[in-house]
Chain A
Amino acid sequence: MPCCERCLNTDIRYFVFIDGKAVCRRCISFNGEEGESGFAPNEVDYNLSFKLTPNQSKISKACMELSFTQDVLIHAVCGAGKTELVYESIKAHLNKNHRVGITVARRQVVLQLYERLSRVFKTLKVIKVCEGFTDELEGQLIICTSHQLYRFKGVFDCLVVDEPDAYPLANNPVLEGFVRQACIGHLIYLSATPDQHLLDRVKHKDMAYLCLNKRPHTKDLIKPKLILVPLFIQFAMVYHYSHHFNHPLLIFVPTIRMGNILSKLLRIPFISSQTVDSDQLIQKFSQHKISVLLCTTILERGVTFSDVSVIIIQANHHVFTHSTLIQIAGRVGRDMHYPNGEVLFLCQRINHSLRTCQSDISKANHSA
């Protein structure tokens, strides 16, 4: 059975002969120089400017021990401080002369993590590899997007995969093939909403499972309130809230079309994948210069606002999957100083995603 050594494709229809060599067309667009991970020269340690909670320390240690013998799934709720949980593992692997890498779904996160980890692991050569930053390919701690992993075939002994359920990594066989080929040791998955196939692996004892249900400030996750009303009443409610709510408010709409209409009707700025100055708007919102912001699911992940409440319009729409709902609810109450906020799901009917989202958040709050 033919198998592509880069993306693990086994579908023979993707193979062609070019100049006498067999080429896999599924990953043909990925071309570039190979990278290499260096070994850390001295004893590696990290410095954190704050202390981990007892729960975080427990999981951090457990992950470190388990990652030497099996793949690990860390199921941590939004805002629980996932990144800090792997520092101990990174340190331990580097000290055993293992090569470590971190791969994330989105380019923005690579840049953010690079800043953080450069400060935390001061003695290491931390490098970022993503679109626009592909010149430096050798380092001791490599942070990259999953697209760039094709350069690092067989390079890592331990690879941390952040948000495997996020676009574009989710359900992408080519990127998943790159992840598998890049790491010859064990993987550590970090997610608030792991896919079913990862949970199945845990069920079949193929992967270790660590669960963190509390945020560092130990307050409960905000439970979403489901409000069953017809759509036109949802619009009226949103109008009311946008004018009479004295808290920063993030309103999620299911489609760009609806967002444009509401944006004009309510005179609220709108962010979608088509918005050009989204970075500026996000900054203004986090600086409290704008108090209400309309957006699509583009802001479901990766943004941290210290004090915000969210409302979802037409929360029963199919774009709001169970993971999306949990991620959106997870935008609220992240900051230690503002652990409260409101999460309102305005819907026309309650579907399976809404039900499971509610139950998962309740479960997380009830378990210690």
Chain B
Amino acid sequence: MYLWEIFTKQDNLCADCRRKLIPFKKTTQVKGLSVYALYLYDDFMEECMFQIKEKKDQTLASIFLYPYRSKLRKLLKNKVITAVPSSDQKTNERGFHALEKMFKPIGYPIHHVFTKDDIKQSTLNSSQRSDISKHIHLVNPSMLIGQDVILIDDVCTTGSSLLACTNALRPYVASINILVIAIYKLK
């Protein structure tokens, strides 16, 4: 299947749109954490995220990981995947879990061990965002104890949510590696 793709280069996006997504594929330090990001968060990425999350177009969600699915399947093979939470209210309103849909091309299960209270992250400023640890709660880490964990999120801006989750998990797990789809870099 993957050998054949050398000749057909199948994709679920047209070439024009695929070119607009800017791969990053590097690890950067955010709030003392090593974060591996697949893409840069630019205007086009913002439009795509908006279409998926606010316009509820879940079909678009799989475009980010599709070209990297075989590589990521190998990398994440023996790890346990968990996600930075979004509030239940938002997920219900949306009708689907955005991060789940974005990670569908990988096909591995995501273990949700966090819950988040209902506040909108994007309306907060930097200092308010750092208080996010108050709103994120670790509920059921039993599946993660002693494991090599991959923590995933869609967009990393300040890294506060990631830091809160990492700090909560550290006492329980063997190792934590962070993978985000897009990272927002200040120029």
Q: A interface, how many residues as a size bin? A: under 10
Are A31 and B58 in contact, with the CB atoms below 8 A?
A: no
The 3 closest A-B pairs by CB, nearest first: A29-B55, A16-B59, A28-B57
Which residues on the A side are within 8 Å of B55 (C-beta)? 28-29
Are A18 and B57 in contact, with the CB atoms below 8 A?
A: no
Q: B interface, how many residues as a size bin? A: under 10
Secondary structure at the B interface, as helix, strand, loop or mixed, is loop
Q: Who on chain A is nearest to B96 by CB?
A: A18
Which residues on the A side are within 8 Å of B58 (C-beta)? 18
- Tell me if A201 counts as interface (CB < 8 A to partner B): no
Which residues on the B side are within 8 Å of A18 (C-beta)? 58-59
- Tell me if A349 counts as interface (CB < 8 A to partner B): no
The residues in B between 58 and 81 inclusive whose CB is less than 8 angstroms from any CB of A are 58-59
Min distance, Cβ B84 to any Cβ of chain A, angstroms: 24
Are B59 and A29 in contact, with the CB atoms below 8 A?
A: no
**Contact pattern, A 20-42, Cβ under 8 Å of B = 1, otherwise 0:** 00000100110100000000000
Min distance, Cβ B13 to any Cβ of chain A, angstroms: 14
A16 to B57, CA, bound (A): 10
Q: Who on chain A is nearest to B95 by CB?
A: A31
A25 to B59, CA, bound (A): 8
Which residues on the B side are within 8 Å of A31 (C-beta)? 56
Which residues on the B side are within 8 Å of A25 (C-beta)? 57, 59
Which residues on the A side are within 8 Å of B54 (C-beta)? 29
A313 to B51, CA, bound (A): 37
A16 to B62, CA, bound (A): 13
A124 to B12, CA, bound (A): 52
A28 to B54, CA, bound (A): 11
Min distance, Cβ A186 to any Cβ of chain B, angstroms: 32
Min distance, Cβ A20 to any Cβ of chain B, angstroms: 14
A29 to B94, CA, bound (A): 10
Q: Who on chain B is nearest to A29 by CB?
A: B55
Which residues on the B side are within 8 Å of A29 (C-beta)? 51, 54-57
A356 to B12, CA, bound (A): 46
Min distance, Cβ A18 to any Cβ of chain B, angstroms: 7
Min distance, Cβ B25 to any Cβ of chain A, angstroms: 29
A230 to B56, CA, bound (A): 50
Can you pick out 14 interface pairs between chain A and chain B where the beta carbons lie within 8 Å of each other?
Answer: A16-B59, A18-B58, A18-B59, A25-B57, A25-B59, A28-B55, A28-B56, A28-B57, A29-B51, A29-B54, A29-B55, A29-B56, A29-B57, A31-B56
**Contact pattern, B 103-126, Cβ under 8 Å of A = 1, otherwise 0:** 000000000000000000000000
A16 to B59, CA, bound (A): 8
Min distance, Cβ A6 to any Cβ of chain B, angstroms: 14
A18 to B56, CA, bound (A): 12
Q: Who on chain B is nearest to A23 by CB?
A: B59
Q: Who on chain A is nearest to B94 by CB?
A: A31
A142 to B138, CA, bound (A): 48
Which residues on the B side are within 8 Å of A28 (C-beta)? 55-57
A16 to B58, CA, bound (A): 10
Which residues on the A side are within 8 Å of B51 (C-beta)? 29
Which residues on the A side are within 8 Å of B56 (C-beta)? 28-29, 31
A28 to B58, CA, bound (A): 9
Min distance, Cβ B43 to any Cβ of chain A, angstroms: 16
A25 to B58, CA, bound (A): 9
The residues in A between 24 and 63 inclusive whose CB is less than 8 angstroms from any CB of B are 25, 28-29, 31
